[in-house]
């Protein structure tokens, strides 16, 4: 599995969880990988076990070059500086997976009528501005062969949860989806493809840790999904692999749901 040999990839939020899964797969496919994260020790927070001291070492152990950068990507200058470090180190850029983000505010106060201005701003900064900053910083560095950007959104950008508890998170990710399609139009003539993945209930270490607190990814919810199971990190990573490979060379501006059929059945 070396079909990405010679490519350089960036994964945001790559120090744990789904981001780590994306980074490891890209390395397994032969790409040199840089991970960006606001906390390079994020995996430890939710008890995720690594096979080395850190994700960068895990990537290196797969026989590729690796780089880890700790940065707040919601700041445009920090995002630009982080991307420049990749160019300085590897000399090129081919793939960006914008995985950083999340429903980081208190869930019980996140409905449309209760979300505070501070929480709303925080969700848009972490999910929407981070993606914009990374796309803008990366766009000027793709070479003559083009490249691929994959932005991770959420099923909640298109399907409303029953309680409305993820209103502002879903709105921020819906903005990412709209932005990505516009970016696909702009960068298409340069050979840069821009697509999204819309995960459903994915059983990451973080989700397992917060399951009881947020009533999320429960056995009952899994039973309501048409495929009757929660998603795994590998399910999303497989879609990412397709979108950065030549197998999707004529695909841009699209969003792939990886949700087991969640959202197909009316409540």
In a domain, 2, yes or no: no
Alpha-carbon span 259 to 261, nearest angstrom: 5
Between helices 130-139 and 167-187, what is the axis angle to 10°? Answer: 10
Alpha-carbon span 176 to 88, nearest angstrom: 28
Q: How confident is the model at residue 266 (pLDDT cuts 50, 70, 90)?
A: low
Q: In what order do the strands lie in the sheet with 255-258?
A: 66-70, 32-37, 8-12, 95-98, 147-152, 192-199, 255-258
The domain in which residue 219 lies consists of: 8-258
Please count the CA atoms within 13 angstroms of the CA of 134 that sit on its side-chain side: 37
For the four alpha carbons of 193, 198, 202 and 205, in that order, the dihedral sign comes to: positive
CATH of the domain at 171: 3.40.50.720
In a domain, 81, yes or no: yes
Q: What is the pLDDT of residues 168-207, one digit of tens each?
A: 999 999 999 999 999 999 999 999 999 999 999 998 887 7
pTM over 0.85: yes
**pLDDT value at 10 more than 60:** yes
Which among 239, 241, 231 has a CA at the least distance from the CA of 204?
231
Contacts of 93 (CB under 8 A, 6+ apart): 8, 10, 83, 86, 87, 138, 141, 142, 143, 147
Q: Number of structural domains, the chain?
A: 1
Instruction: Give percent of the chain above pLDDT 90.
Output: 79
Residue ranges with strand state E in 56-123:
66-70, 95-98
Q: How far is CA 255 from CA 15, 20, 174, in A?
A: 24, 21, 11
Q: What is the pLDDT of residues 117-140, one digit of tens each?
A: 999 999 999 999 999 999 999 999
In a domain, 1, yes or no: no
Q: Which residue has 């995720």 as its token pair?
A: 48
In a domain, 218, yes or no: yes
In a domain, 195, yes or no: yes
Q: For residue 96, what are its two tokens?
A: 């960006």
104 vs 212 pLDDT, higher one = 104
Mean pLDDT of 205-231: 80
Q: How confident is the model at residue 263 (pLDDT cuts 50, 70, 90)?
A: confident
Q: What is the pLDDT of residues 56-97, one digit of tens each?
A: 999 999 999 999 999 999 999 999 999 999 999 999 999 999
Single out the catalytic residue among 46, 166, 169, 179.
169
Mean pLDDT of 130-157: 97
Name the pairing type of β-strands 192-199 and 255-258: parallel
* Residues in a beta bridge with 198: 257
Q: What is the pLDDT of residues 228-251, one digit of tens each?
A: 999 999 999 999 999 999 999 999
Q: How confident is the model at residue 161 (pLDDT cuts 50, 70, 90)?
A: confident
Alpha-carbon span 129 to 126, nearest angstrom: 6
Q: What is the pLDDT of residue 50?
A: 94
In a domain, 266, yes or no: no
Instruction: Give percent of the chain above pLDDT 70.
Output: 96
210 vs 222 pLDDT, higher one = 222
**pLDDT value at 208 more than 80:** no
Q: What is the pLDDT of residue 213?
A: 62
CB–CB of 72/82 below 8 Å? no
In a domain, 264, yes or no: no
Alpha-carbon span 263 to 183, nearest angstrom: 26
In a domain, 136, yes or no: yes
Among this protein's residues, is 169 annotated catalytic? Answer: yes
Q: What is the pLDDT of residues 21-35, one digit of tens each?
A: 999 999 999 999 999
Alpha-carbon span 188 to 190, nearest angstrom: 5
Name the pairing type of β-strands 95-98 and 192-199: unpaired
Q: What is the pLDDT of residue 212?
A: 57
């Amino acid at each position: 599995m070396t079909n990405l040999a010679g490519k350089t990839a960036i994964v945001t939020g790559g120090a744990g969880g789904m981001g780590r899964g994306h980074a490891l797969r890209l390395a397994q496919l032969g790409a040199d990988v840089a991970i960006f994260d606001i906390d390079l020790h994020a995996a430890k927070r939710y008890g995720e076990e690594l096979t080395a001291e850190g994700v960068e070492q895990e990537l290196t152990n797969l026989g590729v070059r690796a780089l880890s950068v700790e940065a707040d990507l919601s700041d445009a200058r920090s995002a630009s500086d982080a991307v420049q470090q990749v160019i300085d180190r590897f000399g090129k850029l081919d793939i960006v997976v914008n995985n950083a983000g999340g429903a980081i505010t208190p869930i019980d106060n996140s409905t449309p009528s209760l979300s505070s201005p501070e929480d709303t701003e925080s969700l848009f900064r972490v999910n929407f501005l981070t993606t914009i900053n990374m796309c803008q910083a990366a766009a000027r560095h793709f070479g003559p062969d083009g490249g691929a950007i994959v932005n991770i959104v959420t099923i909640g950008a298109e399907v409303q949860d029953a309680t409305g508890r993820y209103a502002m998170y879903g709105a921020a990710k819906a903005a990412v989806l709209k932005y990505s399609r516009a970016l696909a139009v702009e960068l298409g003539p340069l050979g840069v493809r821009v697509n999204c993945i819309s995960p459903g209930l994915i059983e990451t270490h973080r989700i397992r840790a917060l399951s009881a607190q947020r009533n999320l990814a429960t056995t009952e919810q899994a039973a309501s999904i048409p495929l009757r199971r929660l998603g795994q990190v590998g399910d999303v990573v497989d879609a990412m692999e397709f979108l950065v490979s030549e197998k999707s060379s004529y695909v841009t501006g699209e969003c792939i749901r990886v949700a087991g059929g969640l959202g197909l059945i009316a409540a």
